Amino acid sequence: MHANALSGVTVLDLSTMMAGPFGAMMLADLGAEVIKVETLEGDGTRTFQPHFKDGDSLYFHSLNKNKKSIAIDLKSQKGIALFYDLVAKADVVWDNFRAGVKEKLKIDYDNVVKHNPKIISCSITAFGTANPYDDDQPSFDLCVQALSGVLDMTGEPDRPPVKMGVPMGDLGSGWYGVVGVLAALFNRERTGKGQKVDIAMLDGLVSLHTYEAAYYLNSGTVPTRIGTAHRSVVPYQIFPTKNIYIAIVGTLDKFWASICSVLGMPEWAADERFKTLAGRFKNRELVVSMMSEKLVQRDCEEWVAAFRKVKVPCGPVNPMDKALNEPLLTARNMVVAVERGGETIKLLGNPVKMSGNTEVYKAPPRLGENTDEVLSRMAGLAAETIATLRQESVIK
């Protein structure tokens, strides 16, 4: 079998919900053996409403493809001993327990490193391991969006804040966890040493403020809600057309000239008020008003075709049904199908395309589907021992 980028890397994935499973799935998509270590009851997202395939929720399926599953009672003495046996053969321990939980379970870095000095332990928490809040304070994506300032600046002017369409507090921390693990693996190749990777959802989301934070930190200006518009670039927003909305971006003056040509108003490009980005920024309301008056006269599809002919960045505001049927995504294998229990499950593909990787997609595992195989191969347990542990409710 062709070796992918992370082939040979074994990850013990203790995570649940969104942030941890998403990041661990990225590692699996790149070729790592990701073993989802679940409680005997299983990841709670297996029961999330309202859609199910082969007994598990589509929420769970969306975050756990290409993984294996074992079920161990980590609160039992025999269960934690089994886990340590797996740690001895693993490369990464990955979790998103709230701060303090992994220490109580004795699966934190200080404990697992005793069983494998080369182990890399990545923990994703809401606020990090060193913070002024109560260690047991639970939090979720929406809370982090609120605390980070992202929620306050998202939405239309003079209307309440709006949650981001995708949970970037969760997803961003998953990405950063992957970056940390990859860096730690590379460092281990040079030094032979593992380390702890500490990811805070709040840190990750705040880091995405980039220029917005720089503007505030250096000018004292607090960003307000501006809808889909851009703080510094005009035009850069969605506009209504005759049927649906269209997104148009004119970051460069050459784009602006092309926009004016397509709108049938080439004189706008030569107008001193609009010919430069600085001028358009100063006259934002007028630019938006003039463009809006023209754009509502034709269907979005007509405008998109015309703008694309002259290389103006644009796109229709697609609902999900149109977005996931975009030829751009189909061509890059971003919608894939796997089979489980006689049912076809459609999921998203791996966005990281590498010339040395072969894309492989396996169905998300059933609870404990790989318990016997993993304990036999990694812990060296005989079938009889595994059966006894199952009878004792140590494993499932």
pTM as predicted: 0.96
Give residue 100's pLDDT: 86
List residues bridging with 36 in a β-sheet.
Answer: 13, 69
Summarize pLDDT for 314-345 with one digit per residue, the tens.
Answer: 999 999 999 999 999 999 999 999 999 999 99
Going from the C-alpha of 272 to that of each of 276, 283, 372, the distances in angstroms are 8, 11, 74
Query: Does position 2 have pLDDT exceeding 70, yes or no?
Result: no
Those residues whose C-beta lies under 8 Å from the C-beta of residue 88, and which sit 6 or more positions away, are: 115, 116
| Contact criterion met (CB below 8 Å) for 22 and 63 | yes
Beta-carbon contacts of 42 under 8 Å, excluding residues fewer than 6 positions away, are 71, 367
pLDDT tens for 150-207 read 999 999 999 999 999 999 999 999 999 999 999 999 999 999 999 999 999 999 999 9
Q: What is the mean pLDDT of the chain?
A: 97
Report pLDDT digits (tens) over 202-242.
999 999 999 999 999 999 999 999 999 999 999 999 999 99
- Domain positions in the chain are 10-207+330-391, 236-240+245-316
State the pLDDT confidence band at 135, using cuts at 50, 70 and 90: low
> Taking the mean position of all CA atoms in its chain, how far away is CA 170?
7
Please count the other Cβ atoms lying within 10 Å of the Cβ belonging to residue 373: 13
Exactly one of 29, 56, 91, 170 is catalytic; which is it? 170
The stretch 88-103 carries a mean pLDDT of 95
CA pair distance 199, 270, nearest whole angstrom? 50
CA quadruple 117, 119, 123, 129: dihedral, nearest 10: 20
Per-residue confidence band for 129, with pLDDT thresholds at 50, 70 and 90 = confident
Residue 249: which H helix or E strand, with range? Answer: strand 245-249
Look up 321 and say whether it is catalytic: no
What percent of the chain stands above pLDDT 70? 99
| Mean local confidence (pLDDT), 14-31 | 98
Which architecture, in CATH terms, is 236-240+245-316?
A: 2-Layer Sandwich (3.30)
Structural contact between residues 6 and 24, judged by C-beta atoms closer than 8 angstroms? no
CATH topology agreement for domains 10-207+330-391 and 236-240+245-316: no
pLDDT at 1: 53
What are the distances in angstroms from CA 380 to CA 12, 84, 161, 209, 375? 17, 13, 54, 48, 6
pLDDT score, position 155: 98
pLDDT at position 332: 97
Read off the pLDDT of residues 268-293 as tens digits, 9 standing for 90 and up: 999 999 999 999 999 999 999 999 99
Which fold does the domain 10-207+330-391 belong to in CATH? Answer: Rossmann fold (3.40.50)
CA distance 88 to 162: 46
